[in-house]
Structure 1
Amino acid sequence: MSALRKALTLLAVTTALAAGLPAAADAAVPATIPLKITNNSGRSDPVYLYDLGTLLANGRQGWADANGTFHAWPAGGNPPTPAPDASIPGPANGQSITIRMPKFSGRLYFSYGQKLVFKLTTGGLVQPAVQNPSDPNRNILFNWTEYTLNDAGLWINSTQVDMFSAPYAVGVQPTGGATRTTGHLKPGGYNGFYSALRGQPGGWANLIQTRSDGTVLRALAPGHGIEAGALPRTVMDDYVNRVWSKYSGSTLTVTPFGDQPNTKYYGRVSGNTMNFTNGSGAVVTSFQKPDADSIFGCYKLLDAPNDLVRGPISRTLCAGYNRGTLLVNPNQPDSNPGGFYKDAVTNHYARKIHAQMADGKAYAFAFDDVGNYESLVHDGNPAQAFITLDPFS
């Protein structure tokens, strides 16, 4: 799955949440809000910022300048044509700048040392996809946050859905309230993550990408690692086979909505299919036996449409497979983080990221928000947003 599609998966979640908020918040959110970026990285490289996304007022795609003014992308081509330079000079180490963010669903990229390369096709913007060795951004140190700012407030996250790279945290200050933050690593957490991943057998160390000068650039998320040939496609097969065996003779109960405890679906395996029934015994959806790529990406054989049945069940299954809870708890989602990632066959990338987060929260896979274990902050009346570029230590 492309980086853009994964981003849209997350943004669809936050936008859907936003849609459910009361209209009373509408008048509270201005057309733009201030975003303060602080550089505590300890690096001397120049920083470049990019605020890219979809303008929610009209659905047009483009970028915002430092004042929050929207600029639509021009028409692209085939092959892709260079996009306009949308970069904003970022703060030097030890300094801060404040820009304005408009009502976007989009990404705020930041890069160290050189500008990112963006191109336009006839279908719109080409996002960086560094699992592809020929991507022009492959050797650039960069990262991004994702956000939705709309009439119901701000959702902004720290994400590792595509990769773990340059460390940062996000925050939001409500009008008249205290700032809430997430995404900070523990002291030593940046190096600790890479050391732990290098020590994990089975190909996990191959997720780490470095530059010719020795600079560690990132660790690919395992789905991208499979795509790049760094991680075996069979890496989750043993766990899936055990799940299939267990629920051939017993029932997996999924209660997908925390506020609807009586809405339950019941899964049983028959052959290559896990069928889910409702309380009346009618089959409501079915899943084929998933492969590792489907599990890590929460798509393909674990597709999650924006409906009220298959999507919520799939989200729950995706979390259970990635966290390794399906064998130890037949009632999902599992609400005990102390039991996550305990099986020898699990998403070790996600496990090691969560272990290094100061608050334990991360977006290490697309549906890490099942049970609210994601690194996201939200406020319906935001006065200011924050991004802190953290130390590489």
Structure 2
Amino acid sequence: MLRTLRRSLTAVGLSLATALTGSLLAAGAGTPAHAAVPATIPLKITNNSARGEQVYIYNLGTELSTGRQGWADANGTFHTWPAGGNPPTPAPDAAIPGPAAGQSTTIRLPKFSGRVYFSYGQKLVFKLTTGGLVQPAVQNPADPNRNILFNWSEYTLNDSGLWINSTQVDMFSAPYAVGLQRANGDTVSTGRLKPGGYNGFFNALRGQPGGWANLIQTRPDGTVLRALSPLYGLETGALPASVMDDYINRVWQKYSTSTLTVTPFADQPDTKYYGRVSGGVMNFTNNAGTTVTSFQKPDASSVFGCHRKLDAPNDQVRGPISRTLCAGFNRSTLLANPHQPDSSADAFYKDNVTNHYARKIHARTADGKAYAFAFDDVGHHESLVHDGNPRQAYLTLDPLN
């Protein structure tokens, strides 16, 4: 349900703008509202990183009752961003001191849609343009946050409850887990890596031929900071533009002589669309044989970003088909299974041409869940927890080992 936020931010690269208040909430729209959901809930942040640096916390996003962009302080009080400039002007210091190693700090989450950032050792640099808040963009070597170790979680708290996730859509960096306590006292969590999973991921990426090791960013002293997503790898030249061409070409060839069946809604098994490639275009028809949407052959950027030639509008036809295609390309399941999406992760990432970044992340999460690309929630393989009336939320900073 948080995928649209990430896709919009990736595409725009600027601000937590209207994407936060629009389709981000669509997945929760059908959930009955709970009048008992309070104006704020506690977020307990626990520092299990074993690192000695000062931690800084930021709660940035959109106030859902007004649509205003800003930040929340430790008490959950909302503050609107002032007007920005061109060139960008410094944003107000929204940093909240985080817990020392082995300690916990509790802040309040308001009814908000946005991100909780955390950084080690240095405060993050945020600036404001006339269009809103400038997010860190570490794929840019000149970004002032390039050499800071940081990460973020995404969440929405509204009258239908809380959704909170871990995300690697933009990068894989400082590990953390998210969780919540339900009204009955039960707790659920996701996002935690297996023991040794952090270093194991980077070692595996270094051993993957084809440019994948180039996704890793380090400080000048050699300290590993993060791995960029494949989309940013393409944009920075770390990955070759042709990295997915072989698989894409084989898919287009296969479905020029056979049919790809997409059943995009698990709760609507009779809603099916049928794809065939003709004249280099994959056309989808409905049960009546009417063409409902068409796709040009995608490139690697379209696949990794789930955008451009695989654009997924928030409608009931093209968007659902596109997100299914996007998941199938990233997981390399479209050749093996002409009925999409796949229900079992056992079939994912088996082709030599695949999203190896996503493959290696999922292999190292304790529950197999991750948001390693924008539509990783197809088939419910995402690292997201939700409750309609949570008592509190959790963010746990884990060791970098």
CA-CA distance at 1:271 after TM superposition: 2.0
Task: Find 2:190's aligned residue among 144, 163, 182.
Answer: 182
Measure the CA separation in 2 of the matches of 1:337 and 1:248. 26
1:367 equivalent among 364, 375, 382:
375
Superposition map of 1:119-158 within 5 A: 119-158=127-166
Which residue in 2 is equivalent to 1:205?
Answer: 213
Q: Does 1:76 align with 2:84?
A: yes
Q: Distance in 2 between matches of 1:162 and 1:153?
A: 26
Whole-Å Cα distance in 1 between the matches of residues 182 and 59 of structure 2? 21
Matches within 5 A, 1:1-393: 2-3=9-10, 5=12, 14-23=24-33, 25=34, 27-393=35-401
Quick one: distance in 1 between partners of 2:272 and 2:236? 38
Q: Which runs of 5+ in 1 are unaligned?
A: none
Contact 2:215 2:228 in 1 (8 A): yes
2:250 alignment partner, SS class: helix
Shift of 1:213: 1.6
Count of residue correspondences? 391
**Which 4+ residue blocks in structure 1 deviate beyond 3 angstroms?**
1-14
By how many angstroms is 1:28 displaced?
Answer: 1.7
Opposite residue 297 of structure 2, the aligned amino acid is K
The amino acid that maps onto 2:128 is L
Contact persistence 1:145–1:156 (CA under 8 A): yes
Name the SS for the 1:234 alignment partner. coil
Counterpart contact for 1:158–1:363, Cα < 8 Å: yes
**Alpha carbons 1:111, 1:140 under 8 Å: kept:** yes
Alpha-carbon distance in 1 for matches of 2:21, 2:345:
24
Specify the SS of the correspondent of 1:382.
coil
Q: For the residues of structure 1 that align with 2:10 and 2:319, how far apart are their CA atoms?
A: 20
Q: Is the 8 A contact 1:104 1:150 kept in 2?
A: yes
Residue by residue, what CA displacement relative to the aligned partner does 1:105-129 show, whole Å, maximum 9, x if unpaired? 1000000010000000001000011
Query: SS at the partner of 1:99?
Result: strand
Structure 2 Cα separation of the partners of residues 347 and 159 of structure 1: 16
AA aligned to 2:28 is: A
Distance 1:12 1:115 in 2: 30
Please report how far the alpha carbon of residue 5 of structure 1 lies from its aligned counterpart in structure 2 after TM superposition. 5.0
TM-fit CA distance, 1:3 = 3.5
Matches of 1:232 and 1:12, distance apart in 2: 34
What CA RMSD, in Å, does the superposition of the two structures yield over aligned residues? Answer: 1.4
CA distance in 2, matches of 1:250, 1:99: 55
CA drift of 1:10 comes to 9.0
Identity of aligned residues (%): 77
TM-score (norm 1): 0.97
Deviations 1:220-241 (A, max 9, x none): 0000110111001110000000
Shift of 1:272: 2.1
Show structure 2 runs of 5+ residues with no match: 1-6
